[in-house]
């Protein structure tokens, strides 16, 4: 318990009661050892009962056994808060755990510091281990001119086999950013015969430049035995378009409508608040099956809401409709 002094600083209230209980030690210089010289065990106050011993800080010791258990939980993919939940469940309550949550927090911070500057070595070591376990595991790492880790790509044996059967259409998504480094995480995604999403490979890129994208497309194509997908869906990015044209010239490229749609509330937010506009807009965007129907619904939109033509983003959106609208893809299987 603390109280404030006149100068504003907090002062901890003393809990001393003059208890005479003590153990005296003396240092034997010639033998270089500590020796107990006297012991007095009489207390002038009540002691904690055995049932309350568990709440004392000294009763909680974080030893090597606990450290191994926590490290195993972390290596299994559990987050720190999930490890705490596991310990609380095993002990019925965190107060009954063999160590304090503050000690656990210190250990987590120590683990984070131990990884600093070693991330790349851990990644390379993990890839090598996976390759030893299964020769069909494929990975590639690109280093820059200074010999520093820049881009990496990996794909497991199952994904390579899935691509052989379901690799007609591939979605390449760069919208994910990872934790503190904010590096793009880019998965190659497909759809199987159960309409389930499946992964055809993953990459971590240093940036989204044309050079990085060309590298990852080249490695991915090599991992897949040089088999080109019939179509690839990506976002509207000049570097992306150029990289796909140069590395996958035999693949039809279309834009990912979900990415485009994320900008609706940014550019036409006021219109989108109108329920009549929203219903007609989504009918035009998602339910049009034929080109004529698509154009007719667009005509209705700009007639009822002429301010659409004043938006530069909407005009560009309409002018590129052949690259993303479903009615313009009747001969291309898009899964």
Give the model's confidence band at 94: pLDDT under 50 very low, under 70 low, under 90 confident, else very high: very low
Question: Is the pLDDT confidence value at 151 over 50?
Answer: yes
Q: What is the mean pLDDT of residues 270-297?
A: 86
Q: What is the pLDDT of residues 288-332, one digit of tens each?
A: 888 898 899 889 988 998 888 888 888 888 887 877 777 777 666
* pLDDT confidence of residue 181: 62
* pLDDT confidence of residue 214: 93
Out of 49-58, 67-76, 137-146, 169-178, the most confident range is: 137-146
* pLDDT confidence of residue 182: 66
* pLDDT confidence of residue 155: 95
Give the model's confidence band at 216: pLDDT under 50 very low, under 70 low, under 90 confident, else very high: very high
Give the model's confidence band at 250: pLDDT under 50 very low, under 70 low, under 90 confident, else very high: confident
Coil, strand or helix at 221: helix
Residues 6+ apart with CB under 8 A from 188: 155, 170, 171, 172, 199, 200, 201, 202, 220
Average pLDDT, the chain: 80
* pLDDT confidence of residue 199: 92
> Are the beta carbons of 229 and 251 closer than 8 angstroms?
yes
CATH assignment, 119-255: 3.30.420
* pLDDT confidence of residue 24: 92
- Exposed/middle/buried for residue 255 (C-beta within 10 Å: 0-12, 13-18, 19+): buried
Q: What is the pLDDT of residues 166-197, one digit of tens each?
A: 988 898 877 776 555 667 888 999 999 898 99
Question: Is the pLDDT confidence value at 223 over 90?
Answer: yes
Question: Is the pLDDT confidence value at 53 over 60?
Answer: no
* pLDDT confidence of residue 274: 85
Q: Is the dihedral of CA 155, 160, 162, 163 positive or negative?
A: positive
- Asked which of 19-23, 146-150, 201-205, 240-244 is least confident by mean pLDDT, the reply is 146-150
Q: How far is CA 292 from CA 90, 231, 297, 299, in A?
A: 64, 24, 9, 11
Out of 70-79, 169-178, 229-238, 243-252, the most confident range is: 243-252
Helices (H), the chain: 64-75, 80-90, 101-115, 119-133, 157-166, 210-223, 238-247, 257-261, 264-267, 269-272, 275-282, 291-304, 312-319
C-alpha Rg value of the chain to the nearest Å: 32
Please report where in the chains the tokens 């207390």 appear, as a residue: 43
């Amino acid at each position: 318990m603390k109280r404030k002094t006149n100068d504003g600083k907090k002062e901890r209230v003393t809990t001393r009661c003059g208890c005479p209980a003590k153990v005296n030690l003396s240092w034997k210089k010639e033998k270089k050892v500590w020796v107990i010289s006297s012991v007095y065990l009489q207390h002038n106050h009540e002691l904690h009962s055995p049932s309350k011993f568990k709440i004392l800080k000294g009763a909680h010791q974080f030893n090597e056994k606990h450290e191994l258990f926590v490290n195993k939980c972390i290596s299994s993919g559990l987050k720190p808060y999930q490890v705490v939940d596991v310990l609380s469940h095993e002990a019925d309550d965190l107060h009954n755990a063999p160590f304090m949550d503050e000690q656990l927090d210190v250990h987590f911070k120590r683990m984070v510091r131990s990884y600093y500057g070693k991330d790349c070595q851990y990644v390379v070591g993990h890839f090598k281990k996976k390759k030893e376990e299964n020769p069909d595991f494929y990975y590639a790492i690109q280093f820059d001119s200074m010999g520093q880790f820049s881009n990496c790509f990996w794909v497991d044996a199952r994904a390579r086999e899935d691509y052989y059967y379901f690799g007609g259409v591939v979605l390449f998504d760069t919208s994910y950013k990872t934790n503190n480094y904010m590096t793009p995480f880019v998965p190659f995604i497909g759809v199987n015969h159960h309409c389930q999403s499946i992964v055809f490979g993953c990459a971590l890129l240093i940036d989204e430049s044309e050079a990085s994208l060309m590298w990852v497309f080249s490695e991915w194509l090599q991992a897949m035995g040089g088999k080109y997908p019939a179509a690839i869906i990506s976002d509207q990015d000049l570097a992306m378009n150029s990289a796909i044209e140069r590395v996958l010239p035999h693949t039809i490229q279309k834009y990912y409508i979900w990415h485009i749609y994320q900008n609706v509330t940014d550019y036409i937010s006021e219109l989108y608040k109108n329920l009549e506009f929203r219903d007609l807009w989504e009918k035009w965007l998602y339910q049009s099956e034929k080109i004529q129907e698509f154009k007719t619904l667009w005509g209705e939109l700009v007639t009822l809401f002429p301010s659409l033509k004043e938006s530069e983003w909407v005009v560009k959106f309409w002018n590129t409709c052949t690259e993303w609208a479903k009615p313009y893809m009747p001969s291309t299987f898009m899964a």
